[in-house]
Structure 1
Amino acid sequence: MKQEKFTVTGMTCAACQSHVQKAVSTLQGVQDCNVNLLSGTMTAQFDEAALSDGDICAAVKKAGYGAQPVGKNPAAAEKTARQRAQEELHSMKSRLILSLIFFIPLFYISMGHMIGLPLPSFLSGMQNAITYGMVQLLLLLPIAYANRSYFINGYRSLFGRAPNMDSLIAIGATAAVAYGVFAICRMGNGLAAGDMALAEKYHMDLYFESAGTILTLITVGKYLESRSRGQTTEAVEKLMDLKPQTAVVLRNGTEQEVPIDKVLTGELVVVRPGASIPVDGVVTDGLSAVDQSAITGESIPVEKQAGDEVITATINGTGRLVFRATKVGDDTTLSQIIHLVEDAGSSKAPIARLADKIAGVFVPIVIAIAAVTAVIWLLLGYAPEFALRAGIAVLVISCPCALGLATPVAIMVGTGKGAQFGILYKSAEALETAHTIDTVVLDKTGTLTQGRPAVTDVLAQAPFTEAELLQTAAALEKPSEHPLAQAVLQYAKEQGVSIQEAEEFEAVPGRGVRAKLSGEVFSAGNAAFMHECGADISTLEQQAQALAEAGKTPLYFAKGSRSLGMIAAADPVKPTSKAAVRALRHMGLSVVMLTGDNRRTAEAIRTELGIDRAVAEVLPQDKEREVRSLQEAGHKVAMVGDGINDAPALTRSDVGLAIGAGTDIAIASADIVLMKSDLLDAVTAIELSRAVIRNVKENLFWAFFYNVCGIPLAAGVFYPLLGWQLNPMFAAAAMSLSSVFVVTNALRLRLFKPKQTQRFLAEKTPAVSIPSTQNNSIHSKGAVPMKKVIFIEGMMCEHCKAHVTEALQKVPGVTEANVSLEQKNAAVTCGAEVTDEALQKAVTEAGYRPGKVEEA
């Protein structure tokens, strides 16, 4: 069996996708066919002995669409798809502008006189009735021509027995135009015969503005959809851009820079400090720390030496590495991630739109009712004009304007409301799908945690003091480039520790560092290194074990053979992570954490935050596989992540949510972007989705309800008994009323407030969530606490409160910050070293105006 990917053009809705899939699936030799409406692609698995690519393309073209195989250049195909999306957006924008240019005068001429607005003299009065009608028709023609695709696709789908939204638009607009032309003809007959009563009867029965309204308003919704579609192909392009274009290889003993596709398996590759690793391989010479967070999710760079594996697109640290290439070209880890993103994207089932489902049944029923209505009145002996008016009234009152607006207007208001909360829905599909989620998968590093190591505990061994330990630690770690060393150095600077220069500095790979300070030998590193140095750390081992179980990394320090103490560092949990997890679970969602970190750290975070399940030590393909397994078990899965390693899982998931501060690739792969990098916004995104979809269903119900109630009246059911017959003008007015109702109902979404977020907002973990471990002989970091109150201007809502709280908690020395919206202040618990200026600066950087600071 051969599997081939095709680009498909001309699809506009779920019915089109179904039609294409049916056309190909029925071919003899096709085993499987999957059509993706959003990306405009189709993947077909077929017997190449029975079929060729040309046969499949011919079947698609016979169905009324265009198709061509992607071939062996998927990158070019992706760019073509993006260009096509941009062209579609530009075309839709031009259509909308042109429609508005002619619709505004059309609407003024046809409706302006009803509210007392003057008409030009050549259009007013019965003597100009024909001119009045013809001007409206001429203004409508450019609108109809600009939006001719609705008529082409609509009637093609209708005749192909697969009616869609375009079919409804085409029928409604055609009915209005046909009746308008008929009315002009009747006016002409009346004027020619001197029958002014007949002419006046049809003078106001021109409904060209109804056709213009249908086409213009629907085009507004289509334009908004087109704007979001153009971003769907960015993920693969940005992944491809991540790959280095050249590599430095050793050939004949000399370094040569060659294109990446010229690197051969088994060749020696040189990576200079700060450079990106071009292919996968095994280190043969050199020592360096490599930042693998983009691929594996590890928050701390990994030391690499001879025998260790390196991965494409990871970033080398300060050392020079030489490695032997083991995987090149399409076999590299990055290339596999790219393929996973492509495969996951093409296998996503598109969302079946409720309006299209209703239209599939509604349209033929309405057409049948209109035809039967006209025939019955003719058989009953009524005039042809009466019968035609009744049939047209049925079609006009059944116009799909409200049905077409029901979804896009609610989604437009919902996405605007989401933007106010810093939540960017990249497509209507994302907003629609998020309400079905029952399982949320969370990345750890950068999503639940800050994404960088920070000092959590300073434990000094008596008789040494905390200040002595910090001073020594800073001096020892200053020459080191290790991330943990940088965390220690940063904390020491924040505490105002003076740092002296170390002498005879020596880094011992995988162990620690050694140096002389004031002529004496000091060392820092892990337990094994302390034992090598002869330092007694037995009194610290219990505390070190507790710290390790809590997911922290302990560093020992010694002066000769005497232990100075221990400093622990960890990737701290974000302040709002616990509240977000609790809110998700309260909404009935299952929460799963995936991370490339070790199991002990993952379990510590899982327990601390109350997560249902944690899966540790996973690679990108493992994350994607875990999401896929959940989907295969029947779950609707949302994935929240921020790294390149999350891209396959983000794309595979039903809804991908990217942390805004994450990589561009994660953002491009996701369906929803959380611009403020706050996990609570994921809660709001799902809650808002539920509110929007509930609103959409209400809109669809009322749009359909209006039509069902109006059709009997339009058909003249009550005419024999009560003399009621709905004039097409009133039918159009009823149709417009249903549109107003739908839009008004959608505007209620402006009042949306994230109830779950507000409920759990107060339940935040501190910036360093795991409590310090200490005993009588060891001192934990921090001084005697004191309380201060800082006044703050500019806070408006709970999100403002959360931002200020997080900003204040990040100030070194602050242990707690309680913000009050009502009192416009924050009560801060901190060490004596925290200055008023530091608190005011934190508030200013958060985007608010600090006032005076008082001691509580």
Structure 2
Amino acid sequence: MGTTQEQFNVGGMSCSFCAESIEKAYRRTDGVADVDVSLAHEEVLVQYDADRISEVDVKDTLRDLGYTIRDPDKEKRYEEQQAELADGKRRLVLAGSASIVVAALMSWMIIVTGRFESESLAMDLVTLALALGTMFGPGRYIKEKAYQSLRRGILNQHVLLEAGAFAGLLGGFLGLFVFADFPTVHFFAVSVFITTYHILSEYTSLIVRTRASQAVQSLLDLRPDTARRVTSEARSASDRPSGESNGDQKGSSKRAGSDAACEQSDPRADETSVEEVPVNDLDVGDRVRVKPGESIPVDGEVVNGESTVDESVATGESIPEEKSPDDEVIGGSVNQTGTLLVEMTATGEDAFLNQVAHEIEEARAMKPGIIKLADRVLRYFVPAVLIIATLAFVFWLVAPLAWGADPNVRRGAFAALAVLVLGYPCALGMATPLALIRGGGKAANRGILMRSGDAFQVSPDIDHVVLDKTGTITVGAPAVSEAVALEGGTRGGIESEMLATAASAEAFSEHPLADAVLEYADERGIDYDDPEGFDSMTGRGVRATVDGDDVLVGKPEWLDGEGIDISGAADEVQRLQRRGLTVSGVTRDGDLVGLLGIGDGIKGDAAATVRRMTDAGITPVMITGDNQRTAAAVAEEVGIDRVMADVLPDEKREEIGRLQDGGHRVAMVGDGINDAPALTQADIGIAIGAGTDIAIESADIVLMGDRLGGVMDAHEIGTESYRKTRQNLAAAFAFNGIGVAAATTGLVHPVFAMIAMVLSVSAVLANSFAGQLLSGEGVNTGFSVENGDVGRRGGNGR
């Protein structure tokens, strides 16, 4: 059978130690060739030799470790996540209640009796019951994970936690049955507290993951649930090109005729059999009718009809594509001006949206692993604590013999147990998230949402930023960049009159380029009237009657075919095209009176942001599905030297991967569905908040609003937060290290051990937030958007 690849969505992962444990288990499994684990998206990609190991054995490895494999159906998977969340909440309530009771008993004992050791057997037994109930009730799953890890020789956080919990249990039993003055209650309390802390940390992680990415489901929701399947039809008005009629429309406003204009292609005129069916019931070869304003339900080929189609779902480009018979269309794109009859050419996994969904899932699983700083510390800390605890016990058994005393079993047990208790890395575990919370609050005050630890951890190492063009560097909507009035025209080349002519002709048009012309005229206070007659020539332009004159606005090639002499403006046309603009000519009674250069305007802070990148030693790269000419013009204007144009969604991801293979750390900035696989593949994905939900859900950082400068703000905050993380880890490790060393003496009481843990956490808290509070920033973990509400580009691009 050869090498096979399986991808699983895994439940139960809570930290990077979980990912490392899964990787180690698979790498020690005979027949497994490679494994990639994505903690952020709880996904595991396993490559294995099917002749040596079965799929069942591959799955059992995950289950044996204590993790669950979620249903591949995305709706059922979401239900399973909700069930896991409910289980986590139930465990936390049980363990938290036990901790509150134990804390109350300890406080009463110390305050009322003034002693650290209990003199009440009843209190000892109650605390023992709570310890056993917590460890083997809500904490049982931790023991199962620890056992399976130990069985495979893997030392992880579950093993260390259980070592501490059982040490507390053992210490309590020693107090009950061996040493009369042993702190029984406190040792039992340790078992309760550290088990509860672990359940709390996992529940918090589960909340974050459950609320996180629904990107793939949202992506597939773009496709309509049903479609109009045409099984037989007669020649009808809907089979005519969409612009053959309606030459006498009138209206009282610039949009008055838009509804009438759409009626020119009635899809039901003479159809003999049209049925609405679920999209999933369609097969290759079926034909579907798509009306203006509707999403195209399938990948297919136009059989008849002409229209403009917003394909930003695939290309990210704001200017729609003209479609006519034999042209391909993409499921999920939006039909705009005419009615199309589309023959289905792809289904299932071959369909575009399903391919993008697969690209996102695979990119998540294959995303380069990031070794967290805390993990590098804990990788050595865990075995070191276990070894030191063992050596401490042995030392107090053997060392007294050197000075002629008896082995000190009591002191050795106290030392070993205290080492395990103090060795549980509470502050170490909090060091990273507290620094990230601080950085997240600071970012939120600047309108930036930091969604993952990678956004902080990798920021200092980023050396390339790949930027999408449309909606990222540019505004993301067509606009008139330049209007050229030509001498010799009927109106004498006056720009305002040329614009009035063009706006009147476009007043009834549904095309986004017409919107751009009208908005340009409105911004300049140009007065224009509705046309007496109007005809939309799909894919070419418009023909209208304005003040009794015949007016054409459209492509130079179409105007030339209509007998208009455009040779005198050839140089101007080429100049505008070199700037990457779409050129429309304006004629009146056969004379070319002007040219309109329409493009996607560049954001005001784009050039400044690019300069900030280069000043920081970061190489900016522009990547786009647009043509090379337009891309080069935009890149030159903002100061980007490296440009990749005509790039498809899967190719964007491949380009990111090539940069990573070359040893670079890459951030990707985008806003469209076509950017989602690349955003997921990049070391840090940055989405423009005014973009699509799919891009936002695939990213590690979201810039609220559309300000591009937030990219470098996020980089600076991430770098600072990583530095703060290192400081926190140093402080936490110092407390744990000193505490473990002191515990080896056998003189550290469990109460003082817990006090030391409180102090270590307090030190980490102070380092994380003191400076922020003193500076008056406050501790904000919510969102404060400076640049307006979060928007979404959607619909048909209008």
Q: Does 1:260 align with 2:261?
A: no
User: Are 1:439 and 2:464 an aligned pair?
Assistant: yes
Q: Quote the residue 2:419 is aligned against.
A: 394
- Residue 436 (structure 2) aligns with: 411
1:103 equivalent to 2:116? Answer no
Aligned with 1:459: secondary structure?
strand
For residue 88 of structure 2, what is the amino acid of its counterpart?
M
Q: CA contact under 8 A between 2:229 and 2:274: conserved in structure 1?
A: yes
Segment drifting more, 285-294 vs 608-617: 608-617
1:170 to 153, 162, 179: 162
Partner-residue secondary structure (3-state), 1:670: coil
Pairwise CA distance, 1:31: 3.6
Q: SS of the counterpart of 2:527?
A: coil
C-alpha separation in 1, matches of 2:318 and 2:522: 22
CA gap 1:594/1:180 in 2 versus in 1, 3 angstroms = same
Which secondary structure does the structure 2 equivalent of 1:502 belong to? coil
Structure 2 length-normalised TM: 0.83
Residue 94 of structure 1 is matched in structure 2 by 90
Give the corresponding residue for 1:520.
Answer: 549
Task: Trace 1:507-586 onto structure 2 (pairs within 5 A).
Answer: 507-532=536-561, 535=564, 540-586=569-615
How do 1:274-289 and structure 2 match up within 5 A? 274-289=293-308
For the pair 1:338 / 2:357, whether they are aligned, the reply is: yes
Name 2:56's counterpart in structure 1: 54
- CA distance 1:9–1:284, change in 2 (3 Å): closer
**Cα shift at 1:317:** 0.8
SS at match of 2:285: coil
- Residues 533 and 560 of structure 1 are in contact (CA less than 8 Å); yes or no, is this contact kept in structure 2? no
Partner of 1:730: 752
Matched-pair contact (CA < 8 Å) for 1:370–1:394: yes
Q: 1:355 to 1:79 in 2, by over 3 A?
A: farther
Letter in 2 for 1:175: A
Cα offset, 1:181, TM superposition: 4.5
Q: CA deviation at 1:482?
A: 1.7
Answer yes or no: is the 8 Å Cα contact 2:475–2:602 preserved in 1. Answer: yes
Say if 1:235 and 1:361 are closer, same or farther in 2 by CA, change over 3 A: same
What amino acid is the match of 1:345? R
User: Given that residues 4 and 69 in structure 1 are in contact (C-alpha distance below 8 angstroms), is that contact kept between their aligned partners in structure 2?
Assistant: no
Counterparts of 1:562 and 1:471, CA distance in 2: 15
Please report how far the alpha carbon of residue 452 of structure 1 lies from its aligned counterpart in structure 2 after TM superposition. 0.7
SS in structure 1 of the partner of residue 363 of structure 2: helix
Give the match for residue 273 of structure 1: 292
- Structure-2 residue corresponding to 1:721: none
Q: Name which of 465, 470, 485 aligns with 1:460.
A: 485
Q: Does 1:146 align with 2:138?
A: yes
**Structure 1 unpaired stretches of 5+:** 190-198, 718-724, 756-796, 808-856
Distance change in 2, residues 1:142/1:750 (3 Å): farther
Cα distance in 2 for residues equivalent to 1:468 and 1:549:
26
- CA distance 1:410–1:364, change in 2 (3 Å): same
Partner of 1:607: 636
Deviation at 1:603, TM superposition (A): 0.9
What is the deviation of 1:687? Answer: 2.2
Distance in 1, matches of 2:353 and 2:765, equals 46
Q: Deviations over 1:94-124 (max 9, x none)?
A: 333444434345334434787xxx65x9x99
SS at match of 2:482: strand
* Deviation readout 1:448-486 (Å, 9 max, x if unpaired): 211111223333345343332222111111122221111
Number of the residue aligned with 2:65? 64
Distance in 2 between residues matched to 1:734 and 1:279, nearest whole Å: 63
| 1:313 maps to 2:332 | yes
Tell me if structure 1 keeps the 8 A contact 2:176–2:184: no
Q: State whether residues 399 and 735 of structure 1, in contact with CA within 8 Å, keep that contact through their aligned partners in structure 2.
A: no
Q: What residue number does 2:78 align with?
A: 82
**Match in the other structure for 1:590:** 619
What is the CA distance between 1:163 and its match in structure 2?
Answer: 1.4
Deviation at 1:572, TM superposition (A): 1.0
Change in CA separation of 1:210 and 1:408 when aligned onto 2, cut-off 3 Å = farther
Matches of 2:207 and 2:394 in 1, distance apart?
45
Relative to structure 1, the CA distance from residue 125 to residue 367 in structure 2 (aligned partners, 3 Å threshold; closer, same or farther) is closer
Name the SS of the counterpart of 1:571 in structure 2.
strand
AA paired with 1:750?
Answer: Q
Judge conservation of contact 2:445–2:784 (CA < 8 Å) in 1: no
Structure 1 pair 576/285, CA: closer, same or farther in 2 (3 Å)? same
Which of 208, 211, 214 lines up with 2:194 in the alignment? 214
| TM superposition shift of 1:500 | 1.7
1:236 equivalent in structure 2: 216
Stretch moving more, 312-321 or 325-334: 325-334
Do 1:13 and 1:165's aligned partners in 2 also have CA atoms closer than 8 Å?
no
Q: Which residue of 2 aligns with 1:248?
A: 228
Match of 2:768 among 730, 746, 759: 746
CA shift digits 1:704-725 (9 cap, x unpaired): 22333333333239xxxxxxx4
1:674 counterpart (687, 694, 703): 703
Secondary structure at 2:601 match in 1: coil
Deviation at 1:601, TM superposition (A): 1.4
Alpha-carbon contact 2:116-2:183 (below 8 Å) kept: no
3-state SS of the aligned residue for 2:318?
coil
Q: Assess if the C-alpha contact under 8 Å between 1:413 and 1:749 holds in 2.
A: no
Which segment is superposed worse, 701-710 or 624-633? Answer: 701-710
Contact 2:703 2:711 in 1 (8 A): yes
**3-state secondary structure, aligned to 1:555:** strand
Q: Distance in 2 between matches of 1:338 and 1:106?
A: 49
Contact 1:434–1:689 (CA under 8 A) maintained in structure 2: yes
Question: Please, what TM-score do these two structures have when normalized by structure 1?
Answer: 0.78
CA distance in structure 1 between the aligned counterparts of 2:493 and 2:375, rounded to whole angstroms: 75
Aligned position for 1:847: none
Matched, 1:501 2:481: no
The residue type equivalent to 2:753 in the other structure is: A
AA at the equivalent of 2:667: A
RMSD between aligned residues: 3.5
Shift in CA distance, 499/691, structure 1 to aligned 2, threshold 3 Å: same
Distance in 2 (CA, whole Å) between partners of 1:161 and 1:310 is 54
Q: In the TM superposition, what are the counterparts of 1:652-731 in structure 2 within 5 Å?
A: 652-716=681-745, 725-731=747-753
CA distance in 2, matches of 1:672, 1:607: 27
Task: Mark the CA change 1:648 to 1:386 in structure 2 (over 3 Å): closer, same or farther.
Answer: closer
Q: Distance in 2 between matches of 1:353 and 1:608?
A: 39
Shift of 1:315: 0.7
SS at 1:325 equivalent:
strand
Distance change (3 Å), C-alpha of 1:799 and 1:588: farther
Match of 1:842 in 2: none
- Between 571-580 and 601-610, the greater mean CA deviation after superposition: 571-580
Partner of 1:832: none
What is the CA-CA distance between 1:227 and the residue it aligns to? 1.9
The CA deviation string for residues 183-207 of structure 1, in whole angstroms up to 9 with x for no partner, is 45578x4xxxxxxxxx5xx569834
Correspondence for 2:251: none
* Distance in 1, Cα, partners of 2:788 & 2:8: 47
Letter of the structure 2 residue corresponding to residue 525 of structure 1: G
For residues 362 and 41 of structure 2, the distance between their equivalents in structure 1, rounded to whole angstroms, comes to 12
CA contact (8 A) 2:446 2:784 kept: no
Equivalent residues of 2:165, 2:191 under 8 A apart: yes
Alignment partners' CA distance in 1, 2:85 and 2:465: 33
- Residue correspondences, number: 734
Contact 2:183-2:750 within 8 A present in 1 as well: no
Shift of 1:429: 4.2
Q: Distance in 2 between matches of 1:28 and 1:403?
A: 34
Change (3 A) 1:156 1:360: farther
Which residue among 367, 370, 382 is the counterpart of 1:351?
A: 370
Q: 1:376 to 1:285 in 2, by over 3 A?
A: closer
Q: CA deviation at 1:229?
A: 1.6
Identify which range, 510-519 or 36-45, moves more after superposition.
Answer: 36-45
